[in-house]
Amino acid sequence: MDFEQLLRIVGDEPVFETSLLLAGGVDPRHVRRQLSRWVRAGRLYQLRRGLYALAPPYQKVKPHPFLIANHLTRGSYVSLQSALAHYGLIPEHVPTVTSVTTARPGRWETSLGVFEFRHLKPALFFGYRRLDLGEGQAGFVATPEKALLDLIYLTPGGDTPEYLRELRLQNLDRLDLDALRRMAVRFDRPKMTRAAERIVELARSEAEEYESV
């Protein structure tokens, strides 16, 4: 396989796995050697073992960080600070893409960004959806309510008024407060129902401030 053949196969893919190149009578060892050469030459980015992206100027579509995160750990969704920033619920830019998974936690530092994965037990793996990320890409991302609850659940003291103030939550009118309460109950922790009620109060206070302006 030469590089032109590779471009014909994966040129439209934001990211691709080695398995995509192993159909037919190809020699897997040869394919892997070629991929390693192209990574060293700066033509490809290796994101993890078996997962690659074309480097400029060969890439037609820049891979969205959320799409990369989904591929780095199968059975994960973007949540926590990354999803909250995406929805405009916190003011800060979040340089590390944060996700949750039922698999082991982990951290990947790649040429296309840093990706962190936190563990959730299977019973809490809900509250996410497939979002259009633009340029023909889509990824699994927590709903605004679940992203906030995941963060609170995984943070010691995450339900305290001090921590919630520290988050500098904004645009709380974008939350479905009934859904927030229902999801909090599913965590089966007093911490989570307390946090949900405190967020409801913050949302009401924010709405009253807007009305008084």
* Predicted confidence (pLDDT) per residue in 120-130, tens digit: 999 999 999 99
How far is residue 132's CA from residue 137's CA, in Å, rounded to a whole number?
A: 6
pLDDT band at 209 (very low <50, low <70, confident <90, very high): confident
Question: Could you give the number of structural domains in the chain?
Answer: 2
pLDDT band at 213 (very low <50, low <70, confident <90, very high): low
60 falls within a domain: no
59 falls within a domain: no
- The number of beta carbons lying within 10 Å of the beta carbon of residue 173 is 10
Q: Which helix H or strand E contains 201, and what residues bound it?
A: helix 190-212
Is the predicted pLDDT of residue 55 greater than 70, yes or no? yes
32 falls within a domain: yes
Both tokens of 58, joined, read 């060969």
Place of tokens 């959730």: 120
**Average confidence score pLDDT of the chain:** 95
Residue 86 and residue 155 in one domain: yes
Residue 90 and residue 49 in one domain: no
Residue 97 and residue 182 in one domain: yes
**Containing structural domain, residue 38:** 3-54
Residue 32 and residue 73 in one domain: no
Question: Helix, strand, or coil here: 198?
Answer: helix
Residue 48 and residue 128 in one domain: no
pLDDT band at 47 (very low <50, low <70, confident <90, very high): very high
Residue 42 and residue 110 in one domain: no
Answer yes or no: are the C-beta atoms of 144 and 110 closer than 8 Å: no
Is the predicted pLDDT of residue 23 greater than 90, yes or no? no
Residue 167 and residue 109 in one domain: yes
pLDDT of residue 34: 96
80 falls within a domain: yes
How far is residue 119's CA from residue 106's CA, in Å, rounded to a whole number?
A: 9
How far is residue 186's CA from residue 24's CA, in Å, rounded to a whole number?
A: 47
Residue 144 and residue 71 in one domain: yes
